[in-house]
Structure 1
Amino acid sequence: MSDDDALQSHLLEGVSRTFALTIPQLPPVLAKPVSNAYLLCRIVDTIEDETALTSAEKRKFCQRFARVVQGSESAEQLRDGLGPRLSTSTSPAEHELIHLIPRVIAITHSFDPPQQEALATCVEIMARGMAEFQDRDLRYGLSNMEEMNDYCYYVAGVVGEMLTRLFCHYSPAIGAHRDEMMTLAVSFGQGLQMTNILKDLWDDHARGVCWLPRDLFAQHGFDLRKLKPNHNDPAFCEGFRQLIGIAHGHLKNALTYTLYIPSYERGLREFCLWALGMAVLTLRKINKNLYFSDSSQVKITRRAVKATVLTSRLLRTSDFLLNAAFSIAGSGLPRHNGQLPVFGHRADT
């Protein structure tokens, strides 16, 4: 393992144990840029989550960071300006990540130009998009499903596009399906993000944030302004089930995306299948416990994670068996009839 690889592995372990687990499944030539990409995205998240910064300051630092990734601003100057502003609400691992921005960026700028462009585009869109939600009153949800789609795109769909660009750069066989996979990548990201939004409903609610769409719940006769833990309202559950169905549909697209990856690319398939499998199992737990009041009640167990890993490894080369396993895992989940709502303006050209 090179010094760069060791550094990125250490940082990932601190800020995202999930990706510290999944990224090593990738071929080494892909694992390095993908690790770097997730660290760049985490830096944006750290800026956006820092409670000591105003919305204007967050926007400014995000814009500066996008320029750093593009190579038009000093990484050291950004670190020196941002680091002292971080409060104790930011974890020690994130403090370390911000302190090491120059080293992370040096790795970014060592990649091939198409890889650098993929990472820089992702960071620029994510930083700009997330800033749009900073000044909103999110206590009572987003206005509509379209806003939820936009949010999911900015925090996850754009990551799917970035990964697809990296995958296509790595493999001409994958690149042959670029157009289909770019569209499905946005859906893949939205499925994962919607699953997290549903799982983390009450954690977000406790800090005065709700990412659910008001219009969808209003259609079922529920006002999100009345949402509180330990409710007993079936109208809310009907709206929640509809969102589970939409997320389930996006995860179906995620499987289609994964099957475009050649079966001999076992590590790449596992990287996608682990995320997909854990999301489906999480939706199952949520659907069986619609009146949950804490995310711990719908968090999948370590045993379920191990089962996902084992199943993925056993079935990863068979499209037929993977489709069958997805159907079994998703049995009982709501289905979404009609076209899946996604962000309508992708950045890909």
Structure 2
Amino acid sequence: MDILKSLGHPEEIFNLFKFKMGGCRTVMPKLDYESMSESLRTCYLYLNQTSRSFAAVIQALDGELRHAVCIFYLVLRALDTVEDDMTIPLDKKVPMLNDFHTFLYQKEWCFTESQEKDRQVLADFPTISVEFRNLAQEYRDVISDICHRMGVGMAEFLEKKVGSMKEWDLYCHFVAGLVGVGLSQLFSASQLEDPEVGRDTELANSMGLFLQKTNIIRDYLEDTQVGRAFWPEEAWSQFAGRLEDLAEPEKLDLALSCLNLLVTDALRHVPDVIAYLSRLRNQSVFNFCAIPQVMAIATLSSCYNNPMLFQGVVKIRKGQAVTLMMEATSMSAVQTIISQYSQEILQKVSQTDPSRDKTLHILALIEEKSAVSQSSLPSRTHHLSPMYLSAAMLLAALSWQYLSTTAAQQW
């Protein structure tokens, strides 16, 4: 059970119960599905089926921006599904990626041959494209442009490996940085945020790169087992002859050095993340942007110097994720969270790690950028007596099954 994983973190157990019993509505209010067209309801169904991390925060966005971002996500999910499908031959896949943006205006276009888990967004693409065409022109222009640029970039990397660290940045730009750019332009087009948010593509790109690099680092084993290689060769070739060799037990020290190098590279985007978030003024947009970012730094903290990454997928606890969702609703709170996780990483830095100096430098910069007055903010660490904690655990164990059943509709 999820609650058992949070036994040593009583604040997470409290927040899990609070979230189950309605606290989730502070960040993911219930949508009025009755007022939607059938095709739009289907789009939200696909959103919930294909995204665990973004579905909630997308549905909490204000006004028409919510529908625009939902459709943007599904279009890019369909594009990404084409890229990920290893059963599509390159001579067919490359033209599909290059031309994908044109399918948005082809009422009947769909692709029913995919073997990927999210294949329904391709098989029923007409439902998504009709809702795309129902969006205001300013939203359609952004989505079509980003879809085009992403498709071309994805096609480019199908036929070459991610070699240098600069190529890693470029690949992450195509698959995620452009998402940050497109979202920022949608925020500005909705007039919920200032035009400058959409114009500053450098900060928007960093938002996407930070999330993508975190996912690539975390998914090392899953990717290598299916023949995908996203860790840059410039990094891993310093420590192994082949990328998959890092999973060999006898190479653990070298593998950890490579892992820490890549985590350090991802952390260099955090100052830009802080700068970007500090510009946002709409609460729903802030929540949408901040929650994935704090989950990413929590994930990097879990991954850093962690041997388990080469044996499976390292994930943050559900109670931890829920706590972050409920807390990351103001700039001061986000700065506190970032500071605390950067301190966690700092405590794990080895005296002998080859990237030690670079890691310490970027952590010091993050600490400087995230510095806020802590006196007025509640601590995220709660200390309870052993007797109280034991009683709370017993109550939790007895109540969890009941709450999971009666409050299921809250999820």
**TM-score with structure 1 length normalisation?**
0.83
2:263 is the alignment partner of 1:244: yes
Equivalent in 285, 300, 304 of residue 287 of structure 1: 304
Deviation track 1:26-61 (CA, whole Å, cap 9, x = no partner) reads 113111000000100011112122233101101122
* Contact 2:81–2:116 (CA under 8 A) maintained in structure 1: yes
Equivalent in 150, 159, 163 of residue 170 of structure 2: 150
Q: Which residue of 1 aligns with 2:107?
A: 75
Q: Which residue of 2 aligns with 1:57?
A: 92
RMSD: 2.1
Cα distance, 1:172 vs structure 2: 6.4
Q: Which residue of 1 aligns with 2:406?
A: none
* Contact 1:50–1:90 (CA under 8 A) maintained in structure 2: yes
5+ residue gaps, structure 1: 339-349
Partner AA of 2:107 in structure 1 = A
Equivalent in 329, 339, 345 of residue 327 of structure 1: 339
Look up the SS of the partner of 1:333 in the other structure.
Answer: helix
**TM-score with structure 2 length normalisation?**
0.71
Look up the SS of the partner of 2:119 in the other structure.
Answer: helix
Q: Which residue of 2 aligns with 1:114?
A: 138
- Paired-residue identity, %: 21
Change in 2 beyond 3 A, CA 1:331/1:166? same
CA distance in 1, matches of 2:40, 2:324: 26
* Contact 2:290–2:334 (CA under 8 A) maintained in structure 1: no
Cα distance, 1:221 vs structure 2: 4.7
* Contact 1:245–1:333 (CA under 8 A) maintained in structure 2: no
CA distance in 1, matches of 2:244, 2:46: 40
**Higher mean Cα deviation, 41-50 or 223-232?**
223-232
Deviation track 1:123-180 (CA, whole Å, cap 9, x = no partner) reads 11111111112223x5xxx321111111101110000000010001112642144433
CA distance in 2, matches of 1:176, 1:197: 30
**Higher mean Cα deviation, 324-333 or 102-111?**
324-333
* Contact 2:47–2:55 (CA under 8 A) maintained in structure 1: yes
Change in 2 beyond 3 A, CA 1:173/1:225? closer
CA distance in 1, matches of 2:315, 2:190: 34
Q: Which residue of 2 aligns with 1:299?
A: 315
Equivalent in 141, 153, 166 of residue 186 of structure 2: 166
2:73 is the alignment partner of 1:38: yes
Change in 2 beyond 3 A, CA 1:174/1:158? same
Aligned residue runs from structure 1 range 172-187, under 5 A? 173-180=193-200, 182-187=201-206
Partner AA of 1:227 in structure 2 = D
Partner AA of 1:90 in structure 2 = E
CA distance in 2, matches of 1:226, 1:202: 8
CA distance in 2, matches of 1:285, 1:165: 32
Cα distance, 1:114 vs structure 2: 1.8
Partner AA of 1:327 in structure 2 = S
Look up the SS of the partner of 2:88 in the other structure.
Answer: coil
CA distance in 2, matches of 1:49, 1:324: 36
